[in-house]
Structure 1
């Protein structure tokens, strides 16, 4: 049923959100990229983790626990987060050497960090998967 040509007024027309004589423009179909190309580009962009951020909490944990990441460890952490994203994991436990990180993959953010002594005996909840990097 078309709202514009109906003899009865809709709630949208009464509230002034859809004037009686106004037509809704249709979106033009572009002749650019195919659906498959757009889908693959969007998927690739979502899955790529270029650089991780550390939340305020995680940065504080690193300082409190005297944890310093080497460049190689940071690269492995990023690679672990990237691999988690490729598998569709949203919240991941990433283990690098004797360190454990909880990473929110869509936001590219390290949520918290633990060293081996604190990680031992801990139960990690609210994660979709784990990556050993």
Structure 2
């Protein structure tokens, strides 16, 4: 049988306490700008953008506001209610091809890049 050896607590002068470890802050990682967090929150409730769509939006200088993102999300929800799979969403002078099932924008076009006005691989269109 093994007897446990008990180590007594150190004797300290009256009025002092044991030195305690300082509470450490959890690792917060890299700081993310508030704007990016807000946009991520808006997008998480609505549609996502594929890397291809993000590249197209950057090249074509397409910037969306929170209200416009909400309109696109609403249009995707309406298309889903009708059973759409891949939909064209027209908003102002912009066009978005969206995978309704994944709620993901596949590509984005402005009026200049829609010259031919031919869209393929879609089964529905929503005009906002």
TM-score of the superposition, structure 2-length normalised? 0.63
Correspondence for 2:4? none
User: Structure 2: which 5+ runs fail to align?
Assistant: 1-43
For the pair shown, which has the larger CA radius of gyration, 1 or 2?
2
The residue correspondences of 1:1-133 to structure 2 (distance < 5 A) are 50-133=45-128
Correspondence for 2:25? none
Deviations 1:55-102 (A, max 9, x none): 000000011111100111111111111111011000000011110000
Runs of 4+ in 1 over 4 A off after TM superposition: none
How many residue pairs get aligned? The number is 85
Q: Which is helix-richer, 1 or 2? A: 1
Root mean square deviation of aligned Cα? 1.4
TM-score of the superposition, structure 1-length normalised? 0.61
Cα separation, 2, equivalents of 1:73 and 1:97: 10
User: Structure 1: which 5+ runs fail to align?
Assistant: 1-48
